[in-house]
A and B are shown apart, each in its own frame.
Chain A
Amino acid sequence: MASCKCGGGQCNCVVTAGANTTVTGAGSTSNPYVVSATAPPANVVTGCGLTGSGSATSPLAAKVAAWPFTCDITDNGSGIYCDPTTGELRADPAYWADFQGDQANTALATPMPVPTAAQQTIDTISIDVTNPDPCRRGLGLLFREVDLDFVLPPNSGAMAGIDGDDMNYFGNQGSGTIINTHSQDNKITAFTLNPGETRTITMSIETGRGSGGATITRIQKSLRAYVWSNRFN
């Protein structure tokens, strides 16, 4: 090691460790370089989910399927995570779905005169809807339905509606009474819930524009909410 200008108990060469080696010491007589090498395992046995032998040409890796989709994996792939509590690998949280509904069918003991003013609330119904997913927002589909049975004498009329919307009007201009004609109105709308959120949804059952002795004999009301947690805009 003449080029290392060794003398005085030390050398000026730099020794760096390569693969599977370590270098200690300073190259002096009292503290010589010591190069240690560790041979890689000759045969690595892998369990489920791993592949490779651990060599430079066949490193240990997660055994995965090829991305089968035409969309971009970077933009669209979900994650694999390490659970710091258990040390296990975890995927994205599961998706959730739920249904909540309430419906009532009331036979009135005494027919109810239809109010003369428009859009009068005669009944309500409520449900508590929960997004069961603690991680994602929930997309909900709300179905609202009202079915009023009207008895319409000649020259009478009545309307039915939901939540401020005058949805239909029946008029009888004939010479005979119309017995128990049904309004049966419905609406389908979307809503969203934050993770784990519970919301009370109330529907108003409305009628009005009553004339000529029009009455209501039955009130049917229904609220149904379907909630799915998912990724959505």
Chain B
Amino acid sequence: MAEQTFYYEYPDGSVTERVTTAAVPTHPDGATLLTTDSYAEKKAAIEATRAQEYADIQATETAQKKAAYDALIAANFDPAVAATLSGYTPSANPVVS
């Protein structure tokens, strides 16, 4: 019942950490065994890619919300109403010059 930990990389670049009690584990088809360090490196690379994607998404969405907010302000909406309708709050999204 002792646990063993294995690290895999799949052909598409996905990585897996597996913990199993199997005495003679069957490894997934097509998977390559990784060392602990190699797994950590590849996993960090995937997470860094995701983090950049999320930052890009949030920057785009924030710009869209600010544009909506600015249009509402230009149409003489109260700033609080404009913030509610647009989802953009100027104080929470300071403009960095």
Does chain A have a CB within 8 A of B13?
Answer: yes
Measured in the bound complex, the distance between the Cα atoms of B17 and A110 in whole Å is 17
A176 touches B12 (CB 8 A): no
Q: How large is the interface on B (under 10, 10 to 19, 20 to 34, 35 or more residues)?
A: 20 to 34
Using CB atoms, name the residue of chain A closest to B43: A107
Does chain B have a CB within 8 A of A197?
Answer: no
Interface residues of B (CB under 8 A from A): 1, 3, 10, 12-22, 25, 43, 46-47, 50, 54, 57-58, 61, 64-65, 87
Instruction: Name the distance in Å between A221's Cβ and chain B's nearest Cβ.
Output: 10
Instruction: Name the distance in Å between B49's Cβ and chain A's nearest Cβ.
Output: 8
A98 touches B1 (CB 8 A): yes
Using CB atoms, name the residue of chain B closest to A126: B26
A176 touches B61 (CB 8 A): yes
Which B residues lie within 8 Å of A217 (CB)?
50
A106 touches B20 (CB 8 A): no
Using CB atoms, name the residue of chain B closest to A174: B87
Main secondary structure of the interface of B (DSSP, over half): mixed
Could you tell me how many residues of chain A have their Cβ less than 8 Å away from some Cβ of chain B?
24
Measured in the bound complex, the distance between the Cα atoms of B13 and A111 in whole Å is 11
The answer to whether residues A176 and B87 also contact, given A99-B1, A107-B43, A107-B46 and a CB cut-off of 8 A, is yes
Measured in the bound complex, the distance between the Cα atoms of B1 and A176 in whole Å is 46
A104 interface neighbour in B1, B16, B43, Cβ under 8 Å: B16
Measured in the bound complex, the distance between the Cα atoms of B43 and A107 in whole Å is 7
Instruction: Name the distance in Å between A154's Cβ and chain B's nearest Cβ.
Output: 8
Measured in the bound complex, the distance between the Cα atoms of B3 and A103 in whole Å is 11
B18 touches A102 (CB 8 A): yes
Instruction: Name the distance in Å between A205's Cβ and chain B's nearest Cβ.
Output: 13
Measured in the bound complex, the distance between the Cα atoms of B11 and A110 in whole Å is 12
